[in-house]
Amino acid sequence: MLVFAACSKDSDSDSNETAAVTKPDEINNFIWKAMNSWYYWQPNVPNLSDSKITSTEAYNNFINGKTPDALFYSLLYQRGTIDRFSWIENSNEIVHVSKIAEIEKKGGFSYGIYPKDASNINMVALINYVVPGSSSALAGLKRGDVITKINGSQLTASNYDQLQNTQITITLAASVEFTTSGLVTTDKTGTLTITKTEIDENPVAYYEKKVYGDKNIGYLVYNGFKSDYNDELNSAFATMKTDGINELVLDLRYNGGGSVETALALAQMINGSFTNKPYIYFDFNNKHNNEDGFENLSDKVKIFNLVDNEPTFQREESVNSLALTKIYVLVGFQTASASELTIQCLKKYVSVVTIGEETVGKFVGSNTLYDSPANGYMSYENRSTKHKWQLQPITFSYYNKDKDVNPAKITPDHEIDPYSIFLDLVEFGNVKDPCLKKALELITGQTMRTKTKTADLSWSSKVSSLTALNPTNTAKGLYIEDFQRMKKQ
């Protein structure tokens, strides 16, 4: 179905070279040619130019002698500035970056990194949530805990990435208070040891019905657009239909993105009245302009199961829709990609009120590229079995149905200082949570009287970008789970 200009040049160039020329490294050859074909910013990267393969000898010399990850990251366009999101993986282990893998080794806790003061040197990690049954949960870690030390050392800008290590020992804060210059903590005696284990985390983390007069308010915490849990998400909306939910607070503060198919389904679950209407517009590079176009809403949700840790399409279910014309979305500095897509695209059909902090600003997405050149690098089934490298580069940008220019970030309608949650980050559903409290007040028109703690946060505006300090959360991304199937529809 697809034509790949990069692949067609091999025979021409090879015929002009002698047999003595060094052969290209097989894995690196896959990486370069897949990136040359699909990478969104391919025209901006000189080392991905088609001219690179006009000389077989020069091409082989360029790609050989590098590790696969070193080659891949060298090909990214202004890595860390423009392209903050592409990654490469080997045997489902992410190299240099983290993603929303289906089953992966994790400690079982989500966290945000915060500077203790405007110097941006000493840090703390605030626990967003803990996965039930994980090693973190078994160790006693809970939402709202604050990590001050890792392996006996103060958490800093130079070592907080060690929180991703296979095994860590952490120290928690006994007390947290704010002064005029920053955040001050004291430590608990003792430590917790957490070991990564394989986890297939259910992103449908929490649901509760709250009743205020004639307002049946659903509060749903959704932490990742994972297609192998589409049935769980659809089931949650079925429960809300049974509960008579007529107002929805959707908590996407810790949701870094995921599957396009899941994002499409979620939109229909919220409203459901716009079947076959355009929702997302995809823009690929010039080599794949034939893939540009709209993706429409459907009254069916695709159900995927994991096969060899790959989401594999199984069947379709009818979407359970709430027929809402207005929703309230909680957002934060770890809200990215498919979550931002939901806000930008859904607001063309229903009223979307956002509450919290500025989002990441990731309006691009990816396809998984496998070593299957005969299938346009898109086929998992026909991939080479000689290695387990696969790519997740940015391959497209997206827009809402009107192709509106995306903002740098989504600024919420009602901003909440991220540091204000430190003293009141309680269990999900507790109205002391400043963001949830604001949403309930907007819905009900009432003032929620709670015994919350207050602090002087005037210094917090001087800290560095919280998004920049939390790169592992932004890499979860937006990806098309089953590209070939989607394009056939």
Question: pLDDT tens for residues 122-147?
Answer: 999 999 999 999 999 999 999 999 99
**pLDDT for residue 104 is more than 90:** no
- DSSP code of residue 38: H
Mean pLDDT (whole number) for 27-51: 98
User: Measured between alpha carbons, how far is 174 from 401 in angstroms, rounded to an integer?
Assistant: 49
Cα 331 to Cα 78, 230, 281, 415, 439, distances in angstroms: 27, 21, 23, 9, 11
pLDDT for 17 equals 45
Contact between 344 and 367 under an 8 Å Cβ cutoff? The reply is no
Mean pLDDT (whole number) for 4-17: 43
Each residue's pLDDT tens digit, 224-243: 999 999 999 999 999 999 99
Mean pLDDT (whole number) for 447-461: 68
Structure token digits, residue 59: 């091409």
Sign of CA dihedral 336, 207, 316, 91: positive
Each residue's pLDDT tens digit, 165-223: 999 999 999 999 988 888 999 999 999 999 998 888 899 999 999 999 999 999 999 99
pLDDT confidence of 483, banded at 50, 70, 90?
Answer: low
- DSSP code of residue 182: B
pLDDT confidence of 464, banded at 50, 70, 90?
Answer: low
Domains and CATH numbers, the chain: 7-66 (no CATH), 104-199 (2.30.42.10), 204-488 (3.90.226.10)
Comparing CA positions, the residue from 223, 166, 212, 215 lying closest to residue 193 is 166
Each residue's pLDDT tens digit, 343-391: 999 999 999 999 999 999 999 998 889 999 999 999 988 999 999 999 9
Phi then psi for residue 19, to 5 deg, are -65, -15
Q: Over pLDDT 90: what percentage of the chain?
A: 70
Chain-centre distance for alpha carbon 213: 36
Contact between 128 and 112 under an 8 Å Cβ cutoff? The reply is yes
**pLDDT for residue 309 is more than 80:** no
pLDDT for 29 equals 98
User: Measured between alpha carbons, how far is 218 from 236 in angstroms, rounded to an integer?
Assistant: 10
pLDDT for 455 equals 64
Q: Ramachandran region of residue 140, left (φ > 0), alpha (ψ -120 to 50) or beta?
A: left
Out of 43-52, 112-121, 473-482, the most confident range is 43-52
pLDDT for 12 equals 47
Q: Ramachandran region of residue 450, left (φ > 0), alpha (ψ -120 to 50) or beta?
A: beta
Q: E-strand spans in 289-392? A: 293-296, 300-307, 310-318, 326-331, 351-356, 364-366, 389-392
